[in-house]
Amino acid sequence: MPDRTCIACRNKGNANNFFRMVIGPERNIVCELGRKLPGRGAHCCFDMNCISKLVSSNRLEIALKRRNFRIGSDELSRNVKMLLRRNLKGMLIASKAKGVLTLGKEEVFKKIKLSKMGKPFVSKDISPRILMSLKRMSEEFHILPFSMNELGEFLSRKPFGVLFISEPLLVDSICLRMMHERAMSNG
């Protein structure tokens, strides 16, 4: 993947470590992950300092070669957070469709014992008792930014708090987006 440069801090890196902004049809800023939208784009780190810097300066206007649009750092960060959550949700749904997702505590605990590949994930509101059990079974697990009810809404018909993804590339992609989501939330 080609290198990109953050228009705020000038750091260079893999395109996966940036979000892209373009001018939408209504002269608004539209954010995306990747490069699907048409038009001149500008990239930014998943960092609140960079978002604040590009909004408070004219860097975004210069990069997009457009004037007369307004967006605040709160609105931009909210848009990026929603984009990241949608992307995470889509990857979890795709992992279910692909057959590499295991749902539910008992099934996940069996999978951890049997599988050398993949990782467990838990909801942000998992019970401390289940969390302690999981810590005894697995060296590494990840806390998703979704509640049990949210996970249940888009992955099954009932709430659940523990899942296992057995494909390493999907695990890596989900962990990268979770890292970006945390960086945006900690700003």
Give residue-wise pLDDT tens across range 91-104.
Answer: 999 999 999 999 99
Least confident of 36-50, 58-72, 81-95, 117-131: 58-72
Q: Is the pLDDT of residue 70 over 80?
A: no
Contact 109, 127 (CB under 8 A): no
Say how many C-beta atoms besides its own lie within 10 A of residue 102's C-beta.
Answer: 22
pLDDT exceeding 90 applies to what percent of the chain?
Answer: 66
Q: What is the mean pLDDT of residues 4-19?
A: 93
Which segments of the chain does DSSP mark as H helices, in order? 48-56, 59-64, 73-98, 105-114, 128-137, 148-155, 168-185
Among 3.10.129.10, 3.30.1330.30, 2.60.40.60, 3.40.190.10, what is the CATH number of 87-185?
3.30.1330.30
Q: Is the pLDDT of residue 187 over 70?
A: no
Please identify, in words, the CATH class of the domain defined by 3-71. Answer: alpha beta
Q: Where are the domains of the chain?
A: 3-71, 87-185
Q: Is the pLDDT of residue 2 over 80?
A: no
Q: Is the pLDDT of residue 35 over 70?
A: yes
Q: What is the mean pLDDT of residues 32-42?
A: 89
Q: Is pLDDT larger for residue 29 or for residue 145?
A: 145
What is the pLDDT at residue 74?
A: 86
Residue 12, CA atoms < 13 Å, CB-side half-sphere? 3
Read off the pTM.
Answer: 0.88
Let me know if the fold of 3-71 is the same as that of 87-185. no
